[in-house]
């Protein structure tokens, strides 16, 4: 027995000894490679006694993965055990040492050197340089692989990326220039000076001619309404003159503002662009200035409250509280009465039909149930005869669309199931005249001719034609299809407008705009009645904290107003962002926006006049309603899906409550119940 | 008396076994943790998965890693790429995630390499070769993709952990991936000569399989694999040594998933189009049991580690709940059922506990 105990102790000790933790050692650690260099690392493992073990196999991989949106950073030849450097930068490489059926891993930092700089061009623009002004410098850097990078003051991320790793210095040949700690260059004296730059050991110089600042006077004019309200865009127009009163045309004046809020608990806020446009967000006194060097001219503007708020009252609802409601469409039937159709989400494939002729007495009049779990989108033809609903979650995984005869909305009939090329699920669709635009598996859209609704014919298809192409929605107006493509933004596609020679069978893309968040979920075209400008209003869909199954979901994102008046040069000019709530679907009519802001309810926003900056902050909101109800699918949880203005009523659908109607009153909000102080 | 006590203790031991299973519900974006004990299965927890509360992300494949500490879930729909999400079995909370390809589906972790091999089904994409994603589950990094066939499905690993098998539904091929070398080592055309003669259709030059294989399962003890011929209503036996088809036997309409009991004796298959589960004795490949599932569209199979029970996920149609049926592999009878989220699909056996 004693011997057995000793044996047991010995075995335990041996096991402990031979099961020591091992670590991966590799000469990948802090390795530096040049682009194109192929390297075969040496990798092995050691135990905590320092004993070395060979790996039966070694795997190397880029830690951000084979699927990397940044492109291929390294190439791994696993049969040869080599790494090829592709993309310059600071990267993490994982080495897995495999042996005896076990694997251990460690992450190593590998730097792929930027190619050496070959040449630097110092760019100072075409305008004359005057004393007392800052010189707008940018650099065009060409490396030895002939990759050209433009770096300017505003692209600080690029500047940091390259300058932080490499020696950079800038100096002046004389005291005519002053260079501050942030490398800004101020012209002090007239005459000639040379800017000297050293970047990555490569020198470059540019001699500039500094003229004496001739500006003695500035004439500043404001083009503005008689009474300026928050959100009103003022155009500043300034000219510079010399001391003899001659107009100086080759100077670029700077515009700026300061201000003070009328409300001492608030701060003045606004935006001024260097083309002279200014908008005040907050009521207050603003000093608007045009300047050049040390000469300036200012004007003072009082900005008053916009005062567009109106009372918004709920006047009717059609409850769906045993399942989620998705999109909806309100339409005039062939009998001239008013009807609506609503979809359902994550349920049993039902779409409901409603008589909404009397908005205060909405009646559920019929329904269809199809083989699906989600009927995400519903649309009705302009003549009120045909409804189309989308399918997701069909039991046979052949989703497609369902075409319904709604000539009699009290007795609707399915007339066609269409699945060709649409089996992967149709998330959104649109009817324009005789064509249906149906998304396919979130990647592209097909165009179907439904002149004979019992026999739809595929006539066209539009896709971006790139790896990872994704689409969420399509909307058609005036022969232009606006597809919302997440990170690829909006695509304007001619499907019959004629602007680019497109037709439904030959869709031709002619415009595109993307933004950094990559969350483009819906787009609505907007021709401003008051200004004639044309915008694509691009909406986000963002759930910053994912799904909360037990209550209110946090939502984010906003509407981007992109001025598409020049389709080749779209400019994002304004936003509607409701703090704490995210955007979903929306409608624009007569320069008023009706938007479902998910948890923020239905919001009605004045978007008349020129648009600039933060529309919410400018007090453009006319009113809102919250739509959660105590008997909702999730009780008291407002989750507005979208809104539609129809015959003067604001219809909406809510994820938890069904369909509802509100009316914007001419009356101002009744604030008799709000807290007031007595002065 | 002693015999009676022993009998009582054995019985008590047998009947106090608890079995735990995870099942994914593709049209509800939920995963249910189920417990089967004393001939009754119950839902312990329903876990909401995905990121968008108003978009269906489609949890499809699910697997538990060999340590039992983590479960992995593939979300089929993204923008447009799907995801692999890692959860803790202790908390059922997300640990990490990574992006994979189009419609990532079934998967398994190799006990040898430790890598997870997930097929990118690309069910609704064009008829072109798709991939198997190889993921290091420690860092949750997709370390490489291996190109296989059109619409690959049914990723299963050999018992020695050295090979991964999948079938390409549209191109009708069986692929063997060297799990260590991370490359395709062998490919086998699953069509019979007759099918090639008169059944094969060609559209745009692409092969459209008559077999439409949807699943492959390697035998745990023999060098054989079994393939579900969803289109040809058959099970195809493949001799892995000779790398050739060694047998074909007919099934009901639309066999979909296949699994083999860990003891290697029984082959269980879902007969999707008939809403049934079939059980074959692998000694003679005779059908020994056929069980009508509780609802329609039978989908996935998980088998208890003691080879006593098969857990079958059943999708249902439309608003019907998903179902998990428990079938005894001793008497081939339906023992118990439980409702889960809509379109129950991927299913994975987690563990067996003694109380």
For the domain that residue A600 is a member of, what is the CATH number? 2.130.10.10
Q: How confident is the model at residue B193 (pLDDT cuts 50, 70, 90)?
A: confident
In a domain, A670, yes or no: no
Domain that holds residue A78: 22-113
Greatest Cα-to-Cα distance within chain B, rounded to the nearest angstrom: 76
Contact A67 B99 (CB under 8 A): yes
Which one of B80, B124, B319 has the shortest CB-CB distance to A468? B80
| pLDDT mean over A611-637 | 97
- Predicted pLDDT at B33: 98
Cβ atoms of residues B24 and B346 within 8 Å: yes
Tally of domains in chain A: 4
- Predicted pLDDT at B196: 67
Which one of B124, B139, B181 has the shortest CB-CB distance to A63? B139
Give residue-wise pLDDT tens across range B115-169. Answer: 999 999 998 877 889 999 999 999 999 999 999 999 999 999 999 999 999 999 9
A135/A203 same-domain check: yes
Cis peptide before B80 (omega within 30 of 0): yes
> What's the rounded Cα separation, in Å, for the pair B239 and B218?
10
A601 burial via Cβ count (<10 Å: 0-12, 13-18, 19+): buried
A250/A366 same-domain check: no
Q: B-chain residues within 8 Å CB-CB of A101?
A: 111-112, 161
In a domain, A645, yes or no: yes
Q: How far is A483 from chain B (nearest CA, A)?
A: 14
Contact A393 B26 (CB under 8 A): yes
Which residue, A211, A245, A270, sits at the end of a domain? A211
| pLDDT mean over A382-405 | 96
A334/A395 same-domain check: yes
**Unique residue bearing structure tokens 């029984």:** B266
Contact B56 A443 (CB under 8 A): no
- Burial annotation A613-622 (CB, 10 A radius, 16+ → b, else e): bbbbbbbbbb
Cβ atoms of residues B342 and A324 within 8 Å: no
In a domain, A4, yes or no: no
A238/A207 same-domain check: no
A235/A179 same-domain check: no
Which one of A94, A102, A487 has the shortest CB-CB distance to B141? A94
Give residue-wise pLDDT tens across range B87-106. Answer: 999 999 999 999 999 999 99
Contact A371 B318 (CB under 8 A): yes
Q: A-chain residues within 8 Å CB-CB of B112?
A: 101
| pLDDT mean over A252-275 | 97
Give residue-wise pLDDT tens across range A170-222. Answer: 999 999 999 998 888 999 999 999 999 998 889 999 999 999 999 999 999 99
The pair of three-digit structure tokens given for residue B171, joined into one six-digit string: 């191109």
Which one of A349, A397, A440 has the shortest CB-CB distance to B318? A349
Give residue-wise pLDDT tens across range A305-333. Answer: 999 999 999 999 999 999 999 999 999 99
User: Which three-class secondary structure state does DSSP give residue A613?
Assistant: strand
In a domain, A628, yes or no: yes
Which residue, A63, A98, A113, sits at the end of a domain? A113
Contact A369 B125 (CB under 8 A): no
A108/A123 same-domain check: no
CA A215 to chain centre: 42
Q: Which among A412, A411, A443, A415 has a CA at the least distance from the CA of A427?
A: A443
* Cα-based angle B199, B205, B206 (whole degrees, multiple of 5): 65
Greatest Cα-to-Cα distance within chain A, rounded to the nearest angstrom: 117
Is the per-residue pLDDT at B202 higher than 60? no
> Whole-structure pTM over 0.95, yes or no?
no
Q: What are phi and psi for residue B174, nearest 5 degrees? A: -105, 130
In a domain, A39, yes or no: yes
In this complex, how many residue pairs, one in chain A and one in chain B, have their CB atoms less than 8 Å apart?
144
A271/A352 same-domain check: no
The pair of three-digit structure tokens given for residue A79, joined into one six-digit string: 């049969």
A203/A226 same-domain check: no
A250 to A130, A289, A649, A668: CA distances (angstroms): 10, 19, 54, 50
Cβ atoms of residues B26 and B345 within 8 Å: yes
- Predicted pLDDT at A17: 43
A151/A241 same-domain check: no
CATH number at residue A186: 2.60.40.3440
Cβ atoms of residues A266 and A207 within 8 Å: no
A58/A166 same-domain check: no
Residue of A nearest to B318 (CA): A348
> What's the rounded Cα separation, in Å, for the pair B349 and B338?
15
- Predicted pLDDT at A115: 84
Cβ atoms of residues A238 and A219 within 8 Å: yes
A554/A502 same-domain check: yes
Contact A61 B144 (CB under 8 A): yes
Give residue-wise pLDDT tens across range A118-158. Answer: 999 999 987 889 999 999 898 898 988 888 888 776 565 56
A483/A563 same-domain check: yes
In 3-state terms chain A splits into helix, strand, coil percentages (rounded to 5) of 5, 50, 45
Which residues does B26 contact at the CB level (< 8 Å), separation at least 6?
A393, B58, B59, B60, B76, B315, B342, B343, B344, B345, B346
Which one of A350, A395, A427 has the shortest CB-CB distance to B317? A395
């Amino acid at each position: 027995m004693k011997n057995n105990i000793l044996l047991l102790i010995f075995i335990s000790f041996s096991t402990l000894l031979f099961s020591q933790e091992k670590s991966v050692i590799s000469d990948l650690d802090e390795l530096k490679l040049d682009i194109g260099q192929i390297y075969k690392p040496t990798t092995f493992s050691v135990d905590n006694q320092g004993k070395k073990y060979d790996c039966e196999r070694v795997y190397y991989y880029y830690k951000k993965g084979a699927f990397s949106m940044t492109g291929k950073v390294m190439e791994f030849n696993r049969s040869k055990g080599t790494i090829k450097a592709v993309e310059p930068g600071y990267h993490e490489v994982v080495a897995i040492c495999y042996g005896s059926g076990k694997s251990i891993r460690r992450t190593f930092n590998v730097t792929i050197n930027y190619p050496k700089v070959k040449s630097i061009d110092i760019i100072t623009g075409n305008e004359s340089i005057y004393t007392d002004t800052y010189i707008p410098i940018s650099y065009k850097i060409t490396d030895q692989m002939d990759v050209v990078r433009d770096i300017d003051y505003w692209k600080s991320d690029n500047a940091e990326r390259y300058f932080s790793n490499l020696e950079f210095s800038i100096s002046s040949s004389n005291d005519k220039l002053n260079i501050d700690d942030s490398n800004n260059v101020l012209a002090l004296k007239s005459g000639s000076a040379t800017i000297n730059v050293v970047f990555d050991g490569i020198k470059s110089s540019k001699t500039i001619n500094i003229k004496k600042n001739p500006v003695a006077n500035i004439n500043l004019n404001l083009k503005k309404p008689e009474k300026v309200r928050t959100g009103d865009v003022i155009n500043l127009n300034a000219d510079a003159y010399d001391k003899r009163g001659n107009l100086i045309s080759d100077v670029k004046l700077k515009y700026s503002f300061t201000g003070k809020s009328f409300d001492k608990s608030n701060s003045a806020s606004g935006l001024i662009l260097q083309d002279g446009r200014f908008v005040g967000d907050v009521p207050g006194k603003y000093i608007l200035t045009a300047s050049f060097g040390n000469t300036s001219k200012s004007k003072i503007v009082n900005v008053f409250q916009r005062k567009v708020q109106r009372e918004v009252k709920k006047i009717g609802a059609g409850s769906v509280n045993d399942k989620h409601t998705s999109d909806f469409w309100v339409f005039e039937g062939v009998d001239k009465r008013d009807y609506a159709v609503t979809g359902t989400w994550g349920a049993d494939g039902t779409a409901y039909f409603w008589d909404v002729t009397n908005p205060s007495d909405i009646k559920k009049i019929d329904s269809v149930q199809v083989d699906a779990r989600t009927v995400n989108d519903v649309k009705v033809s302009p003549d009120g005869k045909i409804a189309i609903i989308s399918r997701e979650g069909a039991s046979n995984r052949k989703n497609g669309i369902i075409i319904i005869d709604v000539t009699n909305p009290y007795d609707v009939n399915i007339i066609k199931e269409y699945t060709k090329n649409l089996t992967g699920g149709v998330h959104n669709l649109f009817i324009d005249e005789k064509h249906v635009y149906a998304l396919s598996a979130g990647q592209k859209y097909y165009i179907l001719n439904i002149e004979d609704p019992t026999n739809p014919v595929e006539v066209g298809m539009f896709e971006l034609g790139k790896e990872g192409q994704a689409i969420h929605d399509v909307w058609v107006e005036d022969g232009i299809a606006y597809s919302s493509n997440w990170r690829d933004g909006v695509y304007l596609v001619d499907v019959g407008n004629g602007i680019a020679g497109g037709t439904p069978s030959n869709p031709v893309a002619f415009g595109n705009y993307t933004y950094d968040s990559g969350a483009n979920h819906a787009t609505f075209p907007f021709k401003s009645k008051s200004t004639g400008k044309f915008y694509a209003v691009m909406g986000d869909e963002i759930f910053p904290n994912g799904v909360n199954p037990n209550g209110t979901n946090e939502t984010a994102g906003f509407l981007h107003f992109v001025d598409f008046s020049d389709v080749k040069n779209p400019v994002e000019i304004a936003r509607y962002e409701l703090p704490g709530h995210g955007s979903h679907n929306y409608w624009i009519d007569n320069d008023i926006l009706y938007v479902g802001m998910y948890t923020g309810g239905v919001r009605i926003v004045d978007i008349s006049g020129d648009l600039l900056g933060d529309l919410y902050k400018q007090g453009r909101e006319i009113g809102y309603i919250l739509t959660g109800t105590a008997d909702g699918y999730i009780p008291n949880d407002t989750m507005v899906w979208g809104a539609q203005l129809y015959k003067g009523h604001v219809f909406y659908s809510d994820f938890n409550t069904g369909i509802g109607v509100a009316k914007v009153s001419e009356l101002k909000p009744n604030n008799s119940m709000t807290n007031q102080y007595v002065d | 008396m002693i015999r009676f006590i022993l009998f009582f203790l054995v019985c008590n031991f047998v009947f106090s076994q608890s079995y735990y299973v995870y099942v994914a519900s593709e049209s509800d974006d939920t995963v249910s943790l189920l417990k089967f004990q004393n001939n009754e299965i119950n839902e312990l927890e329903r876990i909401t998965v995905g990121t968008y509360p108003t978009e269906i992300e489609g949890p499809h494949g699910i697997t538990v890693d060999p340590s039992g500490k983590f479960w992995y879930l593939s979300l089929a729909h993204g923008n447009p790429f799907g995801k692999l999400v890692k959860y803790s079995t202790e908390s059922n909370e997300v640990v990490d995630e990574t992006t994979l390809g189009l419609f990532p589906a079934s998967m398994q972790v190799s006990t040898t390499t430790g890598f997870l091999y997930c097929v990118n089904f690309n069910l609704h994409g064009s008829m072109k070769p798709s991939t198997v994603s190889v993921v290091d589950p420690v860092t949750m990094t997709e370390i490489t993709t291996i190109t296989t066939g059109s619409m690959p499905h049914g990723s299963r690993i050999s018992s020695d952990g050295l090979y991964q098998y999948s079938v390409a539904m549209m191109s009708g091929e069986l692929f063997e991936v060297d799990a260590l070398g991370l490359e395709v080592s062998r490919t086998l055309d699953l069509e019979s000569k007759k099918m090639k003669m008169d059944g094969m259709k060609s559209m745009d030059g692409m092969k459209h399989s008559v077999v439409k294989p949807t699943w492959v399962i390697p035998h745990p003890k023999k060098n054989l694999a079994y393939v579900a011929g969803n289109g040809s209503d058959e099970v195809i036996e493949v001799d892995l040594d000779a790398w050739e088809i060694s047998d074909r036997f007919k099934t009901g309409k639309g066999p979909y998933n296949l699994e083999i009991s860990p003891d290697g004796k029984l082959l269980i298959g879902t007969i999707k189009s008939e809403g049934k589960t079939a059980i074959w004795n692998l000694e003679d490949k005779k059908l020994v049991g056929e069980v009508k599932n509780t609802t329609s569209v039978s989908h996935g199979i998980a088998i208890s580690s003691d080879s006593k029970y098969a857990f079958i996920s059943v999708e249902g149609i439309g608003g019907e709940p998903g179902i998990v049926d428990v079938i005894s592999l001793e008497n081939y009878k339906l023992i118990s059922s439980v409702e889960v989220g809509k379109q129950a699909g991927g299913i994975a056996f987690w563990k067996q506990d003694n109380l």
